[in-house]
Structure 1
Amino acid sequence: MDKYISSIFEEMKEVQNRFVMESMPVLIAIATEITQCFEKGGKLLICGNGGSAADAQHIAAEFVNRFKMERPPLPAIAITTDTSIITSIGNDYEFNDIFLKQVSALGNENDILWGISTSGNSENVVRALREADRLKIRIIGFTGRDGGKMKGLCDILFQSPTDNTPRIQEIHIAAAHIICQLVDEMMFGKFA
């Protein structure tokens, strides 16, 4: 078992090293886009399924409450959290519309939709991205290595440098934390 655990950590280190080497420009671009969104009075709408839904909630909390520094709350909504909305849309229409309808109801031109899907193929996320595009909402995507269907739908796409779902999810939350910290610093700290 020790060797098995060690091999997991070795894989994690390898993926993290690729992440560091390949990702700096896209992380800066995403943080810049979010900063501009907030400065224009826009908000983040964040969505995903399963672990990506949990990441959406985690990211929204970092912006609304705080990340590391004391600063004013920033407007971010995880559209994965309202069970009444999700179940009514799923029941009355279909599950693939649960994010689309929320983007349609809540999204404005100065906003950003941040879609998260390890495969890049989650149909409810893809439909939400298409709705955001129709509404002229900027789109950030987080996917795995090949990007899936999301690849051609995002203004900025972060692709985790692996196809292994647990490693994708670990990189996604690391990338999100870096983005949160960069936005804080761009708005209120070192880079303001």
Structure 2
Amino acid sequence: MQEPVKAIFTECIQTQIAAADQLQEPLMRAAELLVDSLLRGQKIYCCGESMAHASARHFAHIMLTGLQFERPPFPVNALHADLGASNHESIFAQQILAVGQPNDLLLVLNAGSQAPRVSQAMQAALSRDMLIIALTNDDDQDIGGLLGAGDVEIRIPSRNSARVSEHLLQLVNMLCSLAEQQIFPQEDQA
């Protein structure tokens, strides 16, 4: 029974090493875009497809409440995923169309290959001249093609949805930490 457990740990470590090599530059660009949006007073919206939605909600929570120290809340809202909505696939897009403004930021997350709700939200954000940060994976077929020149994609080097989900949580924690460090550098030195 120990061999399957060891294999899972090994796969996690290999994904971590590949991510450390490949994601530094896009992560820094995403953090800069996030900080720039916050400093200009823009709103941040986030959503995730399927099991990635929990990481999107986590991102909104830590951006509101703080991750490393007590600070004022950042204006971040997780779009809600009402499964009982009459048009379930457009639920995120409807929210963006209702409140999104030019230069606001949409953070999207996808742990699988398909992302119909997130794709529609991205199309709505593009129609509102919003910027997008996309956390995707090597199996993504929907999101990457919708990004513009000013947008940022952080593509997790894995097709395994469990490994991708682990990295989504880690990446949203990193984005919040980087934003806090850049906006409140005095706290980072304390």
The two structures have a TM-score, normalised by structure 1, of: 0.91
1:143 aligns with 2:139: no
Matches within 5 A, 1:10-159: 10-80=10-80, 83=82, 87=84, 90-91=85-86, 94-154=87-147, 155-159=151-155
2:165 aligns with one of 169, 172, 178: 169
1:186 aligns with 2:179: no
Gaps of 5+ in 1: none
Distance 1:23 1:147 in 2: 16
- Displacement of 1:109 in angstroms is 1.1
Distance 2:34 2:119 in 1: 20
* Count of residue correspondences: 185
Distance 1:45 1:80 in 2: 10
Deviation beyond 4 Å, 4+ runs, structure 1: none
Distance 1:44 1:3 in 2: 43
Going from structure 1 to structure 2, the CA distance change for 1:60 and 1:44 (only over 3 Å counts) comes to same
- Counterpart of 1:169 in structure 2: which amino acid? S
- Displacement of 1:149 in angstroms is 1.8
Gaps of 5+ in 2: none
Distance 1:34 1:57 in 2: 16
- Greater CA drift, 152-161 or 112-121: 112-121
Identical-pair percentage: 25
Distance 1:80 1:17 in 2: 33
The two structures have a TM-score, normalised by structure 2, of: 0.92
CA contact (8 A) 1:142 1:159 kept: yes
- Displacement of 1:107 in angstroms is 0.8
Distance 2:26 2:69 in 1: 23
- Displacement of 1:53 in angstroms is 1.1
Aligned to 1:9: 9
- Counterpart of 2:21 in structure 1: which amino acid? M
Distance 2:138 2:80 in 1: 24
Distance 1:24 1:147 in 2: 20
- Displacement of 1:118 in angstroms is 1.6
CA contact (8 A) 2:51 2:111 kept: no
- Greater CA drift, 158-167 or 146-155: 146-155
